[in-house]
Amino acid sequence: MIDSSDNQADKVRLLAGMLEKLRTHDGLTLERLSSDRTGLAAPLIDLAVTRRYANSHNLDPAVAAFTLVLSCVRDDLDGTQQIIADAILGLRLHLKAYDDAGLDGNITRSLYNPSVTRRRQTLLSNWHRIHRALGTEPDPAPSDRSLRGTTEPAVLRKLAKRLIDRNYAPEPRAVTKSGGPIAPENEQSGRVVVVGGAVMDVIFRTKSLPAPETSSEAFSFDLTPGGKGLTQAVATAHLGLETYLIAAVADDRFGEEILAYLDAEGVNTSLVKRVPGVRTPFTGVIERELGDSIAVNWRNEGSIHLTPSDVVDRRTEIESCDALLTTFEVPRTTMQETLAIADGVQDHRPLTIVTPGQPYINERISHDALSRMDYLVAHSWELGPFAQGQTPFNPDPVARNLLAFGVQTLCLLVSGGCTVYSHRAQDPIGVPTLPTIYKETSAARDAFCAALAAKLIENDGVFSNKVALWAAAAMSCAAANYSQSDWMLTRARIDALLDRSFGISDVGILAVPSTTDTAPFGDRNDFRNIPQAAAKDQRV
């Protein structure tokens, strides 16, 4: 997000002040962060990068914050500054390095003593030996007064600044209390390529929409990277999939922010097309309190877009992926070329999941392109262009026509649930709605598509009741957390929602009577035995 220099300076001062307070007693320890009752550590715990890392790896916020500080001291401070931060905050970052270098054990124990005064005295008394143990050539040792009053505050301000900058930096590996690494929850288990839009979203949250020729006040505002392609890519990355985004991004400051955000979220940006000298597209979004929204897009298509030749240039990555997600954010000819590349793969053809948003106006999609869509994930209103003048509009016959034209499966999203039309089932199948107080949000469909891809890859491409319900649960997770600036989709959250709503007999396995885990969709595998969840807020 864009942050004014004044606002960022205020955040740095607040965070530096917190670090100065936490240097007292035994320092900034995991135990101290975990047991914080006064809110002293709130500036660190509430950092966007801390919340994002905690959510994506299903960690306690204190563990995520502690990991972030260790990583920042290790990677962003050097020489004397790193030694001072480690000792004064009692991080024990160099404990093993000091032991390996043969530093006297008494010095090491005193350097990490529970008293900051003792740690400071030990540092000053053994200034040169401590530096040499780490292979660092020191400047002359400061006085105690200079260290306390000038050097330490300067080091902590720099650390605070680096922590703030980490809001869009790659995530560190988490650590345990003993300093050992914690394996991420979502190990990569498949490769996905997403072809779609990457824009900036301007989001106003308001209680009511203004009437014509009037205005209203927003209670919240965000300026953040967005777009269906970008959001689907981030969601798939958080589900543990190796994710590549193919999109056109401007080389202005907003384009740089988009790329930094994608890097921080674990999305590979090597296939992104950079377009020099143009302006980043924007989407203006007005969201109401319960998540329903309206949007206006400025795509700047005349200056920035993906061409068919752009995807041809990236065909190797498209052909080698497990699942291809594409949206109507790219020109129609580009979308059709993308599907044609995937369909041309003879062995291990990628699954194709298509989002028809925004619908093409006055442009017909070829029957060949429709027949190459394994899954079309749509809202009812997006089927309007396929209705061919039908009055009044009824999505059911349109859905059946799309199947006749070759679409393999149509997932029609309705009120947090899903109606599935498929060649495998004679009648449409209703996927239960998982309750949330929020209406479907802009990110909900993107979460559904990401979860659909993840579960299909895991299920060897077989679409079943479990796959459909898991994707619907992901949609509800995204909707339930829409009001958080950093909504996160994780397997643990999806499984937890299903466990609370329907019951899970094993990790990720739904207890659905009279069906098998791998039963194909449509063979009397229709959710009628799944109890409806109690209508309550499912915030996960």
Per DSSP, the residues of 197-249 read: --EEEEEEE-SSPPPTT-----SEEEEEEE-HHHHHHHHHHHTT-EEEEE-EE
Supply the pLDDT for residue 174. 46
User: Any idea what DSSP says for residue 149?
Assistant: I
User: Any idea what DSSP says for residue 167?
Assistant: G
Q: Is the pTM of this model over 0.85?
A: no
Residue 413 has which token pair?
């999203």
Among 304, 112, 270, 127, smallest CA distance to 200 is for 304
Share of the chain above pLDDT 70, in %: 83
Residue 516 clears pLDDT 70, i.e. is over it: no
What gap in Å lies between CA 176 and CA 29, rounded to an integer?
A: 11
Supply the pLDDT for residue 38. 84
Residue 503 clears pLDDT 80, i.e. is over it: no
Supply the pLDDT for residue 103. 92
Residue 534 clears pLDDT 60, i.e. is over it: no
At residue 7 the predicted structure's pLDDT band, cuts being 50, 70 and 90, is low
What gap in Å lies between CA 204 and CA 287, rounded to an integer?
A: 6
What gap in Å lies between CA 100 and CA 316, rounded to an integer?
A: 47
Residue 505 clears pLDDT 60, i.e. is over it: no
The helices-and-strands tally (H runs, E runs) of the chain is: 22, 18
Q: Confirm if 72 and 162 have CB atoms less than 8 A apart.
A: yes
At residue 531 the predicted structure's pLDDT band, cuts being 50, 70 and 90, is very low
Supply the pLDDT for residue 178. 38
Q: What is the mean pLDDT of the chain?
A: 82
For residue 252, the SS3 value is coil
Supply the pLDDT for residue 161. 86
Among 295, 279, 281, smallest CA distance to 203 is for 295
Mean pLDDT: which of 59-63, 129-133, 169-173, 502-506 is highest? 129-133
Q: Confirm if 378 and 410 have CB atoms less than 8 A apart.
A: yes
Check residues 181 and 289 and name the one with the higher pLDDT: 289
Residue 291 clears pLDDT 80, i.e. is over it: no
Residue pLDDT, tens place only, 77-93: 888 999 999 999 999 99
Residue 324 clears pLDDT 50, i.e. is over it: yes
Residue pLDDT, tens place only, 233-270: 999 998 989 999 999 999 999 999 899 888 878 899 99
Check residues 384 and 536 and name the one with the higher pLDDT: 384
Residue pLDDT, tens place only, 476-499: 888 776 555 445 678 888 888 888
Residue 99 has which token pair?
């032991």
Q: Confirm if 254 and 230 have CB atoms less than 8 A apart.
A: no
Residue pLDDT, tens place only, 425-434: 778 888 877 6
What number of CA atoms fall less than 13 Å from residue 293's CA on the CB side?
22
